[in-house]
Amino acid sequence: MELPLITHLFLPLVFLTGCPTYMDVVIVLDGSNSIYPWSEVQTFLRRLVGKLFIDPEQIQVGLVQYGESPVHEWSLGDFRTKEEVVRAAKNLSRREGRETKTAQAIMVACTEGFSQSHGGRPEAARLLVVVTDGESHDGEELPAALKTCEAGRVTRYGIAVLGHYLRRQRDPSSFLREIRTIASDPDERFFFNVTDEAALTDIVDALGDRIFGLEGSHAENESSFGLEMSQIGFSTHRLKDGILFGMVGAYDWGGSVLWLEGGHHLFPPRMALEDEFPSALQNHAAYLGYSVSSMLLRGGRRLFLSGAPRFRHRGKVIAFQLKKDGAVRVAQSLQGEQIGSYFGSELCPLDTDRDGTTDVLLVAAPMFLGPQNKETGRVYVYLVGQQSLLTLQGTLQPEPPQDARFGFAMGALPDLNQDGFADVAVGAPLEDGHQGALYLYHGTQSGVRPHPAQRIAAASMPHALSYFGRSVDGRLDLDGDDLVDVAVGAQGAAILLSSRPIVHLAPSLEVTPQAISVVQRDCRRRGQEAVCLTAALCFEVTSRTPGRWDRRFYMRFTASLDEWTAGARAAFDGSGQRLSPRRLRLSVGNVTCEQLHFHVLDTSDYLRPVAFTVTFALDNTTKPGPVLDEGSPTSIQKLVPFSKDCGPDNECVTDLVLQVNMDIRGSRKAPFVVRGGRRKALVSATLENRKENAYNTSLSLIFSRNLHLASLTPQRDSPIKVECAAPSTHARLCIVGHPVFQTGAKVTFLLEFEFSCSSLLSQVFVKLTASSDSLERDGTLQDNTAQTSAHIQYEPHLLFSSESTLHRYEVHPYGTLPVGPGPEFKTTLRVQNLGCYVVSGLIISALLPAVAHGGNYFLSLSQVITNNASCTVQNLTEPPAPPVHPEELQHTNRLNGSNTQCQVVRCHLGQLAKGTEVSVGLLRLVHNEFFRRAKFKSLMVVSTFELGTEEGSVLQLTEASRWSESLLEVVQTRPILISLWILIGSVLGGLLLLALLVFCLWKLGFFAHKKIPEEEKREEKLEQ
């Protein structure tokens, strides 16, 4: 029954391909001795024949080999397939010969080779290919032979092989002129020359293109084709009343379509699409018919679709009607946006709502270049409407972008997810390093969802595949489960993807009891009292998928308690963990339940309910089963609250009252002074609950940086526990009466603070804030916060002293030593910190007596030496009374700031840590001239030094540590007169005493000379 149908459908195509312009090709091959090596000639023949479409209804090939005489190696009708001709070329042997009679061979080919007796067809185009390596020995006969070929409408190609001439270093000019004469005009089209036999294979592609005008290269005097190279069936589309074929090679690769209906064929003539594909662009090879399809509009009108992916290098798609007379009416055309993207190479109309009319048209551009020049591919989604036929809705692209050729194949699919809308599959055969992938998109009422519902990668399959997704189709049920399957093509393989049933789960979760008691514990777990609960988890299963499939399947779920919360408040019975994985068997149309037992331990967090969460998924690990509907939930959560003893409304309204009292008082004008004997402050705080229970009551304590919390002590015998933590150095967070600070409860506690030695502030403050998880009205919130403070100053333990290198100075009268200014002496001022405070902001003021009446200096400051201090010398002071006159010094015994002008030195001291000191050295000169002119016996110069603080300082100095003095006693001496006679008598008495002393020494022999022993011996010898 199938054979007659197939024969009936394809007989018209056979008639169509039997065109009178099909080709008979005769090759005239030089086989003389000069051709060498012969194997290169055989290779050339095999490759040239391999480019031809050899078939009794298309191209026939004959071969004449010649040397001294021509021989028919095989005739046009001897071989019917390409393989047979290639085999004959491979086994062809050289005839040899000393002469090359090319004219005779051409004559034989044109008279005999194309004759019907040798298989020639009168309606076929005749092509003659002459291959020779030398000038003919019968050149005088060549014009007659060529005239015979012209009469027989034979187009000639001439190929000159120059190997013999080059090897012998001969001039090939006359040989080349002869081959140009043999070749048809123009020479640029029909003449070839190669350097040797091995180079013949280099011209195979060019020769093939010139012979057949491939890829739209047709020009004047070249072979042109109408429908003989159509490649009918390059693309096909099945219609209700026939088949639509793409003829991508028709009209010199401009392309066309053929509609086969009821045994009749219909195709548009070359000029029918002149408006859409102008003849001026004929050489562009638009490839119309690369893809064909159709779409059905409302009202029953049908439009054919065809893609021309190479039109203007950007691609084009036309939607048209083909009338009985071959006329074409184009309803709309779509243009590609990127050169080389092959827009229109694949078309996929889609009836999303399955009402029989086309809703969406998908147009692929698989070679579209995306980011980083990757051949990602792109699919354009057009909505089909009434007012505007095709409107661009958006595009589909691979995720993430990569070399994919996304859209190389597309296929409309039935409703895979059972949502009532048809789906579509898009192939991307270059993804994952040419392994390939398939994308599934779900249809909607308004088109196609922009993101894929599923990506099926070849890399995830057990078998190694290449170019998975190069073709796709999904129309048949191949595994007998009444569900349409999807067939996907790969290189050397076809993969069948089974569609799976869709089920919908409706979960429910109930917990008993509905709330967790804070006070009552009804069970023991892990040795502790706990509250036990039970959760009932149920699943109702429904499915819209018909057919024969196993409606029982397994599901895995995981129940969790406070999964994302730090710290465990609850756990499942048995395991003691917060996670409980389970496996449950379900069936369509039934409700299946599971009991889960858990318990809640003692916890500090009673505000937030315990979160009971269940996540679930179908278990297809043992065998493929159904999948969840996209709208089906995959988790369910139940919040289990804590119950509270708050009356019938179950809402606790509390009123916390906080009172604070500190044992020190101090205002800005009369601050409290912190002295060494007392360095502590006590704060008493009382917290009371005057209304309903307060859950998770907390007390926040904040105090100033100049305080350290030494202790927090609740009232003795208080039943209410207070536990504190330190979130920071000067803050505490205390939990009061956990978990419930009950109605009427009251707690008092004592806070003991120590004053800081390193941080000195002008005020101390302590702030407490009470809060709870229970509700408190705005009208009572003001007494939830209490604060106490006091202004303070600090009394540091400082030692201020001065010492001088000169305490007494004697002034000598004129005419005695020393002469000039008096000595320079140093006064050192020293401040020592003997306490614990870090002291800063101290100032030393030095009052140095310097100038008497008339601007006369008696002391002057020469240098200030500092250590950790910054000093400035200020203007002279004016005493209360006029400065003392030098002549009046005998009436006073003190020089100080009251009767002299003083030099003032003011020094700002640096920071003084505990146990450190700072010093200032003052160098001064004594002016002798002033004191020599003055009349006095003894004077006391008094320098005064004061230690103070900067304005606004928190320090308060004691009187004992503020003042110091330096005393310099100046004494004037008088000369003593001695009589001249006393001096003369003293000299004479001294001389007399010296003479008496010399006489005594002489008497004692002090001045006698004693001889040495050697001299005495020498004198004794002389005497003898």
Q: What is the 3-state secondary structure (H, E, C) of 469-532?
A: CCEEECCCCCCCCCCCCEEEEECCEEEEECCCCEEEEEEEEEEECCCEECCCCCEEECCEEEEE
Q: Are residues 64 and 207 in the same domain?
A: yes
β-sheet with 635-640: strand ranges across: 579-587, 552-561, 610-619, 635-640
Confidence of residue 607 (pLDDT cuts 50, 70, 90): low
Residues 676, 567: Cα–Cα separation, whole Å:
48
CA quadruple 232, 233, 235, 239: dihedral sign = positive
Exposure string (b/e) for 619-647, b if CB count within 10 Å is 16 or more?
Answer: beeeeebbbbbeebeeebebebebbbebe
User: 39 in a domain, yes or no?
Assistant: yes
Q: What is the pLDDT confidence band of residue 219, given thresholds at 50, 70 and 90?
A: very low
Is 118:76 a contact under the CB 8 Å cutoff? yes
Confidence check: pLDDT of 215 > 50: no
pLDDT at 223 over 60: no
What are the tokens at 748? 């008092």
- Those residues whose C-beta lies under 8 Å from the C-beta of residue 172, and which sit 6 or more positions away, are 160, 162, 165, 166
HSE on the CB side for 767, CA within 13 Å?
Answer: 8
pLDDT at residue 19 tops 90: no
pLDDT of residue 17: 40
Q: Is 272 helix (H, G, I), strand (E, B) or coil?
A: helix
Q: Look at residue 304 and give its three-state secondary structure.
A: strand
Alpha-carbon span 147 to 471, nearest angstrom? 53
Half-sphere exposure of 327 (CA within 13 A, CB side): 4
Which of 434-438, 444-448, 610-614 holds the top average pLDDT? Answer: 434-438
Interior CA angle at 66 toward 60 and 72, to 5°?
40
Q: How far apart are CA 466 and CA 333, in angstroms?
A: 35
Would you say residue 78 has pLDDT above 70? yes
Instruction: Tell me the average pLDDT across 694-716.
Output: 88
Angle between helices 142-151 and 173-182 (to 10 degrees): 20
Residue 625 belongs to some domain of the structure = yes
Compute the residue count for the chain.
Answer: 1024
Answer whether 290's CB lies under 8 Å from 235's CB: yes
For the stretch 478-500, pLDDT in tens is 877 778 889 999 999 999 998 88
pLDDT tens sequence across 130-182: 999 889 999 899 999 999 999 988 999 999 988 888 888 888 899 999 999 99
The answer for residues whose C-beta is within 8 angstroms of residue 220's C-beta and 6 or more apart is: none
Give the DSSP H/E element, type plus range, for residue 182: helix 173-182
b/e map of 360-389 (b: 16 or more CB within 10 Å)?
Answer: bbbbbbbbbbbeeeebbbbbbbbbbeeeeb
Instruction: Examine the domain organization and report whether 112 and 140 are in the same domain.
Output: yes
Banded pLDDT at 244 (limits 50, 70, 90)? very high
Question: How confident is the model at residue 1008, as a pLDDT?
Answer: 67
Question: Would you call 399 helix, strand, or coil by DSSP?
Answer: coil
595 domain residue, yes or no: yes
For residue 944, pLDDT beyond 90? yes
Average pLDDT over residues 216-237: 65
**Cβ pair 358, 339 in contact under 8 A:** no
> Lowest mean pLDDT: which of 104-118, 403-417, 559-573, 1009-1023?
1009-1023
Residues 889 and 926 in one domain: yes
Residue after which a domain boundary falls, among 290, 307, 335: 335
CATH number of the domain enclosing 753:
2.60.40.1510
In this structure, the answer to whether residues 707 and 754 fall within a common structural domain is yes
**Sequence letter at residue 467:** Y
CA distance 26 to 957: 128
Longest distance between any two alpha carbons in the chain, whole Å: 188
What pLDDT is stored for residue 368 in this prediction?
A: 95
Q: Residue 816's pLDDT is what?
A: 54
The answer to whether the CB of 709 falls within 8 A of the CB of 703 is: yes
Identify the burial level of 519 via C-beta atoms within 10 angstroms of its C-beta, where 0-12 means exposed, 13-18 middle and 19 or more buried. Answer: exposed
Helix H segments across 838-979? 928-933
Element housing 183 (H / E): none
Distant-in-sequence, close-in-space partners of 710: CB < 8 Å, separation ≥ 6: 680, 752, 753, 754
Judging by DSSP bridges, how do beta strands 502-512 and 528-543 pair with one another? antiparallel
How is 579-619 classified by DSSP, letter by letter?
EEEEEEEEETT-EEEEEEEEEE---S--SSPEEEEEEEEEE
339 vs 18 pLDDT, higher one? 339
- Is residue 222 over pLDDT 70? no
Q: Is the predicted pLDDT of residue 623 greater than 80, yes or no?
A: no
Close Cβ partners of 291 (under 8 Å, ≥ 6 residues apart): 235, 246, 305, 306, 307, 309, 344, 345, 346, 347
Does residue 843 form part of some domain? yes
List all residues 6 or more positions away from 403 whose beta carbon is below 8 Å from its beta carbon.
Answer: 374, 375, 376, 430, 431
Whether residue 380 sits in one domain with residue 492:
yes
Token pair 């002129």 is found at 177
Same domain, 786 and 803: no
Q: Is 574 exposed, middle or buried (0-12, 13-18, 19+ CB in 10 A)?
A: exposed
Q: Calculate Rg over the CA atoms of the chain.
A: 61
SS3 835: coil
What is the domain range of residue 995? Answer: 983-1024
Q: Is the pLDDT of residue 214 over 50?
A: no
Q: Residue 641 has what DSSP assignment?
A: P
Token duo for residue 598: 């858990």
Regarding whether 121 and 30 lie in a shared domain, the answer is: yes
Task: Assess whether pLDDT exceeds 50 at residue 809.
Answer: yes
Among 794, 828, 855, give the residue marking a domain's end. 794
Same domain, 35 and 181: yes
CATH of the domain at 612: 2.60.40.1460
Average pLDDT, the chain: 86
Residue 436 has a pLDDT of 95
pLDDT of residue 9: 36
Q: Is the residue at 221 inside a domain?
A: no
Task: Enter the pTM of the model.
Answer: 0.52
Q: How far is CA 43 from CA 46, 274, 752, in A?
A: 5, 43, 108
Instruction: Report, as an integer, the average pLDDT of 422-441.
Output: 95
Q: Residue 690: is its pLDDT beyond 80? A: yes
> For residue 1010, what pLDDT is reported?
61
Name 226's Cβ contacts closer than 8 Å, sequence gap at least 6: 19, 21, 250, 251, 270
**Of 40, 56, 131, nearest in space to 90 by CA:** 40
Specify whether 387 is located in the same domain as 308.
Answer: no
What percent of the chain clears pLDDT 90, i.e. is strictly above it? 39
Q: How many CB atoms lie within 10 A of CB 449?
A: 15
Domain-ending residue, one of 183, 216, 249: 216
Which amino acid, 936? F
**Quick check: is 721 in a domain?**
yes
- Tokens 């400082």 correspond to 798
pLDDT exceeds cutoff 60 at 857: yes
Q: What per-residue confidence (pLDDT) applies to 296?
A: 93
Q: Please indicate, yes or no, whether residues 380 and 486 belong to a single structural domain of this protein.
A: yes
What percent of the chain shows pLDDT beyond 70?
Answer: 92
Say if 922 falls within a structural domain. yes
916's tokens = 């450190």
Backbone angles phi, psi at 821, to 5 degrees: -60, 155
The pLDDT of 847-861, averaged and rounded, is 89
Residue 22 has pLDDT above 80, yes or no: no
Residue 582 lies in a domain: yes
Residue 345 has a pLDDT of 94
Number of domains in the chain: 7
* Same domain? 931 vs 997: no
pLDDT of res. 1015: 66
Q: If you average pLDDT over residues 121-127, what whole number do you get?
A: 86
Contact 175, 165 (CB under 8 A): yes
pLDDT of residue 1013: 67
User: What is the spatial distance between Cα 518 and Cα 773, in angstroms, rounded to a whole number?
Assistant: 13
- The whole-angstrom separation of Cα 249 and Cα 255 is 5
Confidence band, pLDDT 50/70/90 cuts, at residue 907: very high
One domain, residues 28 and 169: yes
User: Residue 296's beta-bridge partner residues?
Assistant: 302
Query: What are 921-943's pLDDT values in tens digits?
Result: 999 999 888 888 888 888 899 99
> What would the two tokens of residue 237 be?
């589309």
CA distances, 593 to each of 584, 590, 617, 631 (Å): 9, 10, 16, 21
User: What pLDDT is attached to residue 814?
Assistant: 59
Q: Which of 352-366, 557-571, 936-950 has the lowest mean pLDDT?
A: 557-571
Cα dihedral across residues 578, 582, 587, 592: positive or negative: negative
